[in-house]
Amino acid sequence: MSDHGLFSLNGKTAAVIGAGSGIGEAVALGAARQGASVACLDSHDAAAQSVAAKIGGGTIAARVDIRDAQGVADAFDAIVRARGRLDIVICTPGINVRKPILQYSAEEFDRVVAVNLKGSFHVLQAAGRIMTAQKGGGSIVIFSSIRSQVVEPGQSVYAMTKAGIVQLVRAGAAEFGPAGVRVNAVAPGVVETPLTAPIKANAGWYEAYASKSVFKRWARAEEMVGPTLFLASDAASYVTGTVLFADGGWTAADGRFTPPV
């Protein structure tokens, strides 16, 4: 492939889960701009339909709850029936319950794990079954977080699930690689999305997070498109089992104090 088409997704079918808002919406729109035939999947059907309408051209939209293994498998099978194959799967959903460990309830624990970790497993399993059986392999991208590496009080279960995704991705890469299927993760820092709106509304909290980036600002959802589509594209043809940190230098820069030199 020439360098000119290295990042092109022309001729590829991409399923974006979480496409109804935030990072997922930005990625779905970006994949379409790169030429992919996009399927917008989201737990909120109306949101998925809205983004599909923005893309146009008969874009597939469907409700998918990643906690439901059969529902995920059925959605992917429907895409294959409609488009002939499934080349790219991108999974962005995640939830968080911010509480100290000693205050966490069993129900809250189960709720976060069910979406972030179990749901990601369902996606990986269903996509892997299709992609390992088809010629030409495929690319699976699952969203982790900087919390897979660094934590703060109140983030125990969320951080645990995001660290689990890293190992899940590595195992998927090892198992699916012989069939030409790549599996990778994107680990954002703090991103302006509907999910983080309550934090943004707190000026002190917002600025504390902004100061952790070497750019001294939060990321925009659109800034996750490039890293994600790089992993999805042939530009990353020899990249698998890795985590791409798109965190504005959060995990690279140690501390806020600049010592005299």
Residues in CB range of 166: below 8 A, 6 or more apart:
144, 148, 185, 187, 243
Q: Contact at 8 Å (CB) between 219 and 185?
A: no
The verdict on residue 50 lying in a domain is: yes
Residues 175-193 have a mean pLDDT of 96
Residue 176 has pLDDT above 60, yes or no: yes
Q: Contact at 8 Å (CB) between 53 and 27?
A: no
By residue range, what is the domain housing residue 131?
3-189+221-244
Quote the pLDDT of residue 198. 83
Q: What is the pLDDT of residues 28-48, one digit of tens each?
A: 999 999 999 999 999 999 999
Q: Catalytic annotation on 162?
A: yes
Residues in CB range of 147: below 8 A, 6 or more apart:
155, 158, 159, 162, 163
- What is the rounded average pLDDT for all residues in the chain? 95
Q: Pick the catalytic residue from 21, 37, 120, 162.
A: 162
This prediction's pTM: 0.94
Share of the chain above pLDDT 90, in %: 88
The verdict on residue 252 lying in a domain is: no
Residue 174 has pLDDT above 50, yes or no: yes
The verdict on residue 92 lying in a domain is: yes
Q: Catalytic annotation on 145?
A: yes
Quote the pLDDT of residue 114. 98
Q: Contact at 8 Å (CB) between 183 and 172?
A: yes
Residues in CB range of 139: below 8 A, 6 or more apart:
87, 88, 89, 181, 182, 183, 184, 231, 232, 233, 236
Q: What is the pLDDT of residues 48-60, one digit of tens each?
A: 999 999 999 999 9
Q: Please, which pLDDT band fits residue 69 given cuts at 50, 70 and 90?
A: very high
Which residues face 140 on adjacent strands? 89, 183
CATH, residue 51:
3.40.50.720
Q: What is the pLDDT of residues 208-217, one digit of tens each?
A: 999 999 999 9
The verdict on residue 205 lying in a domain is: no
Residue 206: how many CB atoms within 10 A of its CB? 17
Quote the pLDDT of residue 1. 47
Residue 261 has pLDDT above 90, yes or no: no
The verdict on residue 75 lying in a domain is: yes
Three state DSSP letters for 44-65: CHHHHHHHHHHHCCCCEEEECC
Q: Contact at 8 Å (CB) between 92 and 23?
A: yes
Q: Pick the catalytic residue from 43, 139, 145, 156.
A: 145
> What is the number of domains present in the chain?
1
The verdict on residue 199 lying in a domain is: no
The verdict on residue 258 lying in a domain is: no
Q: What is the pLDDT of residues 188-205, one digit of tens each?
A: 999 998 778 788 888 999
The verdict on residue 173 lying in a domain is: yes
Estimate to the nearest angstrom the gap between the alpha carbon of 241 and the chain centroid: 14
Q: Pick the catalytic residue from 139, 144, 158, 233.
A: 158
Phi/psi at 216 (5° precision): 60, 35
